[in-house]
Chains A and B, each alone.
Chain A
Amino acid sequence: SQTIHQWPATLVQPVGSPLSLECTVEGTSNPNLYWYRQAAGRGLQLLFYSVGIGQISSEVPQNLSASRPQDRQFILSSKKLLLSDSGFYLCASQGGVSYNEQFFGPGTRLTVL
């Protein structure tokens, strides 16, 4: 099965600072990759998905951007964080033998102060 790595696990950043969250995937090739945000007490919201290197689709207009420089690397970024960017960010991967299943990483807890 696939293994998703995310770092950092937790992050506290001031408003206006930049952001870079990284996600890497093991155990598959050419996966579809996803970034989700989960606010407290709410369902997961899809932010971006990617079906290949350099291919990014954005689901909601926002202060964030995503990039996929390598097949199994997915990066979530911001030039200037807002308070509303606080949340739990999850990277997910789907594809390969378990094409029907989406595997999630351990998440990054971001607090913007």
Chain B
Amino acid sequence: KNQVEQSPQSLIILEGKNCTLQCNYTVSPFSNLRWYKQDTGRGPVSLTIMTFSENTKSNGRYTATLDADTKQSSLHITASQLSDSASYICVVSTGFQKLVFGTGTRLLVSP
């Protein structure tokens, strides 16, 4: 069964600190892996997309890694800001117009 699991479920960090969110997947076939940021009550916004051959991709203070062998990905946030408070969703595409969504990690950045 295709699944995407994220950890932790929720996280509280102090403003300015770094954090890392984890994503493990069992999806086949694999096309690409995406990280989205979703503010409360809004639609998800794409942060990064990585294909099988890419093992790291950055978008400003966000850096995603992908290990296709172990089927793990991480999202690292550097020097967190209050505006980083949101849910972060890991999504794996099977390539057949189908996306498998994780349930997300809810991040709260505290002043």
Contact = CB atoms under 8 A, between A and B. Distances in A.
Nearest to B36: A104
B99 to A, nearest CB: 7
Given A43-B89, A43-B102, A104-B44, A51 B32 contact: no
Chain A contact residues: helix, strand, loop or mixed: strand
A107 B43 contact: yes
Q: Place the interface of chain B in its size category.
A: 20 to 34
A44 B32 contact: no
A26 to B, nearest CB: 15
Nearest to B51: A100
Interface in B23-64: 32, 34, 36, 41-46, 49, 51
A113 to B, nearest CB: 19
Contacts of B97: 32, 49, 51, 94
B99 A105 contact: no
Pick from A41, A46, A100 the residue with the most CB of B within 10 Å: A100
A106 B49 contact: no
B106 to A, nearest CB: 9
Contacts of B89: 43-44
A104 B102 contact: no
Top 6 A-B pairs, shortest CB-CB distance: A104-B43, A43-B101, A43-B103, A44-B101, A104-B44, A107-B43
Interface of A: 4, 6, 32, 41-46, 49, 51, 88, 90, 92, 94, 100-107, 109
14 contacts: A41-B103, A43-B89, A43-B104, A44-B44, A44-B89, A45-B101, A92-B43, A101-B49, A102-B46, A104-B45, A106-B43, A107-B41, A107-B42, A109-B41
